[in-house]
Amino acid sequence: METRERLLTPGEVASLFRVDPKTVTRWAAAGRISSIRTPGGHRRFRESEVRALLRGEENGATAPAPRSSVEDDDIESIVS
């Protein structure tokens, strides 16, 4: 029985890591995250690998941790 793994677009990966989709494309070009090319030449990323990177189970890949969001209290301390 064939099980197909879900593939994510650069935009979907970018939203998980809170970065721009072009950043995800640059990571793939640099070998920091593996990608699959569609017949049309678009990049897709294995969901299991992306989730492992998010959990810190890198297996040799070096994508950075997701960005944390700035809370309202933090903004006040920055502008004050």
Beta bridge partners of 7: 46
Using the predicted structure, report yes or no on whether residue 2 has a pLDDT greater than 80.
no
The CATH architecture that domain 7-79 belongs to is Orthogonal Bundle (1.10)
Q: pLDDT per residue over 22-80, tens digit each?
A: 999 999 999 999 999 999 999 999 999 999 999 886 554 555 555 555 444 454 444 44
**HEC string for 24-66:** HHHHHHCCCCCCEECCCCCEEEEHHHHHHHHHCCCCCCCCCCC
The C-alpha atoms of residue 56 and residue 63 are separated, in whole angstroms, by 9
pLDDT of residue 72: 47
- Would you place residue 4 in the very low, low, confident or very high pLDDT band (cuts 50, 70, 90)? confident
